[in-house]
Each structure stands twice: as C-alpha cells, then as structure tokens.
Amino acid sequence: MTRGEMLDFVQRVLDAVPVEHAVAELGEERSASVRFGRNAITQNVDTFRRELRLWIGDGSRKTEYRTHRIDTAAIQDMVREAVARLRNSPPDPEYVPPADGGQIYRTVDAWDESTGGIDPGPRMDAAASAVSAAEAAGAEAAGISRMDSSRRALATSTGNLCFHEATAGIFQLTVLAGSGSSYRSTVSKAWSAIPVRRIVDEVVAEALSARNPADSQPGEIDVVLEPQAVADLVSFVLYSLNARESDEGLTVFTGREGSRVASERFTLESDMNGEVPGTPFDRDGFAADDQVWIESGVLRTMMRDRFWAGKTGLPAVVSPGCFSVPGGEGTAADLAAQSRRCLRIRRFWYIRFVDQKTLTLTGMTRDGVFLCENGSVTPVKDFRWNWKPLELFSRIEALGTPERKGFMTVPPMLLRSIPV
C-alpha cells in the first residue's frame, strides 16, 4: 500500500469506531535475507507481513485487537469485534487515553529507496563473496546479508495522524579458521553503505590470527572492549532505565536520579537524527524526542510511561529507538596500545541477569579475545565472566571512535583493572 492508502485506511478505521478513544495502526514489514553457513547457502527468504492494531477505550476500559485481515470492506466487522471485547474488559485503574492531539513529530529520514527495493542480487553477491574468501583461506564462513523495510501509519481519536518508514541493510559475518574465529555485524539504513569487501577481508584475516588461543589467566587486567562488546553490555543498562521499576525498588537505579552511576567519561543519549535514525512516535501516538539518559556519568532520566508520569508528576519519556554513547578518536587497537598489558574482547555471548537489582550480569566472550602486551598480540580462550556493567563503565580510561551496532552507536573502551 502507498503512504496515502495506509493513512487513509487507519483514518477510516477510526471513523468507524463508536467509542471515545481509539488508536489505529497499520504496519507493513518486508524482510529479505540470504543466510549462509559452512560455506553454503542455507536460507534465502523474502517475507512480508501487514497487520492492523486497533486499540479502543471508553474512558475507563480498554482493549486491543490485532489482525492480518486488511480489507476496507471488513472494517465494520473488525470494529464490531473490538467493541464486543471492550464490553468484557474490566475498568483499568491506570487508564490513559491516546496521546493528546497536536503532537509534533520529529522528521526522521530513515528510508533508503534502493534498500527498500529489496533486490536479491546484492544480498546473494555478499554471501558469495564471504564464502569464496573463506574457502580461499581454508576457513568457513557463516552469516547473513539482509534488507528490511518497514512502514507504519497511525491515527488517534485525539487528532494525531503520523507515518514513518525505515530501511535497514544488515551484513553479519562469522569466519571460523580452525580454533580461531572472528565476527562483524554492520547495519546501515542503506545497503550500499556497507563495505562488504572490506569486512570480508578483515574478518577472514582476524579469524586466521585468532587460531591456537592460550588459556586466559584469572586476575585483574586492563580490558579493551570493541564496539560490539560495548553494545552488548549497554543494552542491559537500557533495560534497567525504567522509571516505574526503579521507583518500585527493583532496579539498580532506584533513588539514583541525579546521582553518579558511571565514569564522567560515560554519556548515554538519544539523537533522533543521529547515525541510527529514531522512531518519531510510540504506539499511543506520543511524540519521541532526543534524550540524555546518563550525562557524564550522572543519571538524568529514565523511560517513563504516561501513567507513571502522571502519578509521579514527572514528564513522560518514551524510547526513541536509537541510542548512542559518544566517544573519542581511534580504534580498539589504538586503545590497546595505551595499556602496557590488556585483554581485547570482540564480543560477548549469552549475557543474562544474575541479579537485576544490582545489575549484575554473566556471559561468555566470543569470536576473539586477545592478550596485548608490549606490542605483541596473542589470542586467548573464551572465558565466563560475572560483571556489573556500571562498575565497568566507572573504570573508563579512554574512548575510541563510535560505530553503529544495531540500534546504537558506541565507541571502543579502554577499562582499567577489571577482574577476569
């Protein structure tokens, strides 16, 4: 459907709703990917979903209905079904109507026309390039080349009407070379911005250099986290930035707004028009905006839904879907050179909360750990760790150049004296 058709459809749904409050959202998602493993294509897919979400409320009760049956002629049936469900709903003591009318939405350019065309050629060429380079090096490639597009139209009974569309090109590559491996995940709104050939060459070379790792030794040591490893940890900090759960005593941030929670070198913010494009509105039609969550180590704000905002007298804060940790200059290797002896870690795997209250995590290293000492770089084996990321981010000695990793941009970090 075109943008105009999608907006017209959600408006028609709203027009048919006989109760006071409603939000109609129509979404389309197309995702196409080539997956490869052990130097062979294992998947080659092109999927499409279109879904209508209808939320209705009468001032005290609410309900939500979702369907794939998108048909203008069936709107009355859908609305009748939703209204019948509403009658069975109990009063909601936390009832909040859709976002007030007159929301001002940020303009975010998240669409790349070429990527949105979902052409299979570049995906297959990228996979073939990785496989042939790995085979030539006597290694095995696994990964995915993927193009996604999504489009959302949303209308509220309070008078808001909004549309957002986004594309993403994603190239992930793992190369296995005997006991060595390496990994890279690259995301951009434009597939054409992903330097496939350079990534393939780097990852193959890194995997070869990671062969025959030595045992890692327990003790305190400087650690350089590559951007992927930083992103893996920051996502758990984001998960804990929940104002209500903090007020209920359940997170590490309870009672700490305005207090220092990390090094002054650590800032966590959202820039709607940064390298990761933001999402201009939430599911209620509430406008998202730039935020500073942690500023120079001090906790400034958390995500706060509109009910909790009303209850606490503080502003509502929604996730804009994009996050960044500002950095400095240089690569992870440059940071490692600033330490006499350090471990450089490429990424983590299977991170889980050990204790949500103290934000204690466990996880494993994966696809590259190196002991860097007096100019030499030696691969070492993966190890399990139990760390508190805010303690790690309190020991930042230096930051490198940020890179996009998924929905955030983060720099490599040099951390002093970390127990491993």
Partner 1 sequence: MRELAAFAVSELAASGVEYGDARVEDRAVESMTFRGMRLEDAVDSTSEGVGVRAIVNGCWGFASSTGLDREAVSTAVERAVRIAASGAGKTGSRVRLSAQTPRMGSYSSPCIEDPFGVDKSEKMGLLEECSRIMNSDSAITSTYAQLHSERIDRVLASTEGTLVESHLIHTQPFLQAFAVHGGDAQSRSLQTGARAAGWEWIRENDLLAASERVRDEAIEKVMAPEGPSGVMDLVLDGLNLSLTMHESVGHATESDRALGWEANMAGRTFVRLSDPGSLRYGSDIVNFTADNTMPIGLASWGWDDDGTPCQKWHTVRNGIFQEFGTVRETALLVGRDASRGCCRAQDFGFFPINRQPNFYLEPSLEPVTPDDLISGIARGIFIQGRGSFSIDQNRVNFQFGGDFFREIRDGKLGGPLKKVLYGARTTEFWGACDGIADARFFQPMGLLTCGKGEPMQGARMTHGASPARFRGITVGGGVR
Q: Of residues 338-397, which lie at the interface with partner 1 (CB under 8 A)?
A: 349-357, 362-364, 366, 382-384, 386
Residues 135-194 that bind partner 1 (CB under 8 A): 140, 142-144, 146, 172-174, 176, 181, 183
**Residue 112 Cβ vs partner 1, minimum distance, rounded to whole Å:** 19
Token pair 């200059």: residue: 329
Which one of the spans 28-36, 220-228, 330-338, 409-417 is the region binding partner 1 (CB under 8 A)?
28-36
Specify the residue, 239 or 353, whose C-beta has the smaller distance to partner 1: 353
Looking at the Cβ atoms of 143 and 227, the one nearer to partner 1 is 143
Query: CB 268 → partner 1: shortest distance, Å?
Result: 23
Does position 211 interact with partner 1 (CB under 8 A)? The reply is: no
Contacting partner 1 (CB under 8 A), which of 12, 15, 18, 45? 45
Cβ neighbours of residue 129 under 8 Å, at least 6 residues apart? 196, 197, 200
Residues, the chain: 420
Q: Which residue has the tokens 């350089």?
A: 224
Nearer to partner 1, 97 or 328 (CB): 97
Range 89-119 burial, b when 16+ CB lie within 10 A, else e:
eeeeeeebbbbeeebebbebebbbeebbebe
- Pick the stretch among 40-48, 194-202, 266-274, 320-328 that binds partner 1 (CB under 8 A): 40-48
Contacts of 276 (CB under 8 A, 6+ apart): 321, 322, 323, 324, 404, 407, 408, 409
Cα-based distances in Å from 119 to 33, 65, 173, 394? 10, 34, 20, 45
Using the contact rule CB under 8 A, the part of the chain among 61-69, 151-159, 272-280, 401-409 near partner 1 is 61-69
CB 277 within 8 Å of CB 110: yes
Q: How far from 110 is each of 33, 122, 190, 225, CA to CA, in Å?
A: 20, 20, 9, 29
Looking at 12, 41, 117, 377, which residue binds partner 1 (CB under 8 A)?
41
Contact with partner 1 (CB under 8 A) among 25, 206, 245, 403: 245
**Closer to partner 1 by Cβ: residue 89 or 235:** 89
Query: By the 8 A CB rule, do 211 and 181 touch?
Result: no
Task: For the CB of residue 227, give the shortest distance to partner 1 in the complex, in Å.
Answer: 18
* Residue number, 368 or 411, with CB nearest to partner 1: 368
Q: Which stretch binds partner 1 (CB under 8 A): 193-201, 243-251, 263-271, 400-408?
A: 243-251
124, 314, 333, 337: which one contacts partner 1 (CB under 8 A)? 124
In angstroms, what CA-CA distances link 10 with 79, 98, 189, 232, 283? 12, 15, 26, 37, 13
Q: For residues 225 and 413, is the Cβ–Cβ distance under 8 A?
A: yes
Q: Which of 4, 15, 48, 419 binds partner 1 (CB under 8 A)?
A: 48
Using the minimum distance from each CB to partner 1, give the nearer residue, 258 or 350.
350
**3-class secondary-structure state, position 414:** strand
Q: How many whole angstroms from its chain centre is CA 39?
A: 28
Written as six digits, the tokens of 138 are: 């006597």
Type and span of the H or E element at 121: helix 120-136
> CB under 8 A: which stretch of 56-64, 191-199, 223-231, 257-265 binds partner 1?
56-64
Chosen residue from 121, 258, 313, 315 binding partner 1 by CB under 8 A: 121
Give the nearer residue to partner 1 in terms of CB position, either 106 or 244: 244
> Among residues 51 and 165, whose Cβ is nearest to partner 1?
51
Residues 75-104 that bind partner 1 (CB under 8 A): 85, 88-90, 92-94
CB of 154 or CB of 252, closer to partner 1:
252
Q: Which residues contact 391 (CB under 8 A, 6 or more apart)?
A: none
- Say if residues 39 and 132 touch (Cβ distance below 8 Å): no
| Min dist. Cβ of residue 356 to partner 1 (A) | 7
Q: How far is the CB of 251 from partner 1 (least distance, A)?
A: 8
Which of 63, 156 has the CB closer to partner 1?
63
